[in-house]
Amino acid sequence: MNKIKILANDGMDAQCKVTLEQNGFEIEMQNVPQANLAQAINDNNYEVISVRSASTVRKELIDACPNLKVIVRGGVGMDNIDVEYARSKGLTVYNTPASSSHSVAELVFAHLFGMVRFVYQSNRDMPVSGDKEFGKLKKKYSGGKELKGKTIGIIGIGRIGQDVAKIALGCGMKVIAHDAFVPDVNLELDIDGINPKPVITIKTISLDELLMQSDFISVHVPGGNVIGAAEIAKMKPGVCIVNTARGGVIDEMELLKALDAKHITHAALDVFENEPAPKSELLHHPNISLTPHIGASTKEAQERIGDEIAQLVIAHFKSN
């Protein structure tokens, strides 16, 4: 019996590869450029393609590869895959929505702490003038704030939003949330040594209420245009906003205007409309904390993603 061949075009966790190989699969991890992907899949008879965010699996690729049976997205969002079209053609499409939630949530707070204590700005200035103007920089960055006691508004209270809420509660923040599809959530808090685990219920509110009440806003929706000029106008003066969800969820030009007007004090962006070439104005703005789409890029998350991919693929071919 021929081995089922898998193209892991955007890489794969090492243990995932081992697990799949031990279960009779053949794995290729050599990245194929997008333009050559269809030919590579057909020439090598790959039945499974595994991608992250770099490769796309669109209608044209699906139509060009009749032997392709399974598409796996290592991560949450599947906006780089024509999911419904693939399923209409009989392909199975999987993702790994639970595996990277905590990693993304921790990045949100890396940005939040960096903003309220000017860490990212200080790290820009200290190498340039820290040895000559230490006292001046100390004065410049001494007006920090604490997160404790502040209100964080979470737009989208799915897995990632819930993990953000749990960390926020641990920091002593008030948590409010908006979600068009969820009336309330029960958060089970994982506190070492505490059993049974305490459960806190958060009832969602309207987007307008959230915008008007929040000191900090973190966005966790799969896409769409959620924050534009009208929404920014409803925010409290001095608000800080974080986007680790999808580029375009926040109108970047309106964000820049609000930052320049000091209506928004700080922003943090891990995702951008024009990846992999974000707008220069964003990259050079002094009040934007920046990371290059690394929300799920922790060792632990990649191990969990790899384990979930392996189990999904093994189970699929055992049952078919």
pLDDT at residue number 248: 95
Q: Which helix (H) or strand (E) holds 318?
A: helix 299-318
> Do both 142 and 86 map to the same domain?
no
Tell me if 107 sits within 8 A of 88, measured CB to CB: no
> Do both 107 and 223 map to the same domain?
yes
pLDDT at residue number 77: 81
Positions of E strands within the chain: 4-8, 25-28, 48-51, 70-73, 92-95, 151-155, 174-178, 184-188, 199-203, 216-219, 239-243, 264-269, 288-290
Selected catalytic residue, list 73, 285, 293, 304:
293
Q: For residue 33, how many other CB atoms are within 10 A of its CB?
A: 9
**Distance between CA atoms of 254 and 162, rounded to whole angstroms?**
27
pLDDT at residue number 98: 84
> Do both 77 and 176 map to the same domain?
no
> Do both 94 and 194 map to the same domain?
no
CATH of the domain at 236: 3.40.50.720
pLDDT at residue number 2: 76
> Do both 110 and 245 map to the same domain?
yes
> Do both 202 and 238 map to the same domain?
yes
> Do both 199 and 304 map to the same domain?
no
> Do both 161 and 264 map to the same domain?
yes
> Do both 255 and 313 map to the same domain?
no
Examine the pLDDT at 320 and tell me if it is beyond 80: no
pLDDT at residue number 81: 97
- Does the active-site annotation cover 178? no
Distance of CA 86 to the CA centre of its chain: 24
Selected catalytic residue, list 60, 188, 275, 300:
275
- Dump pLDDT digits (tens) for 136-185: 999 999 999 999 999 999 999 999 999 999 999 999 999 999 999 999 99
> Do both 67 and 110 map to the same domain?
no
Question: Please, what is the Cα angle at 161 between 158 and 166, to 5 degrees?
Answer: 120
- Does the active-site annotation cover 293? yes
The domain of 23 spans 4-99+299-318
Q: How many residues does the chain have?
A: 320
Selected catalytic residue, list 73, 159, 246, 285:
246
> Do both 74 and 210 map to the same domain?
no
- Dump pLDDT digits (tens) for 17-75: 999 999 999 999 989 999 999 999 999 999 999 999 889 999 999 999 999 999 999 98
pTM: 0.89
Share of the chain above pLDDT 90, in %: 93
- Does the active-site annotation cover 246? yes
Domains: count for the chain: 2
> Do both 129 and 73 map to the same domain?
no
SS3 120: helix
Tell me if 296 sits within 8 A of 103, measured CB to CB: yes
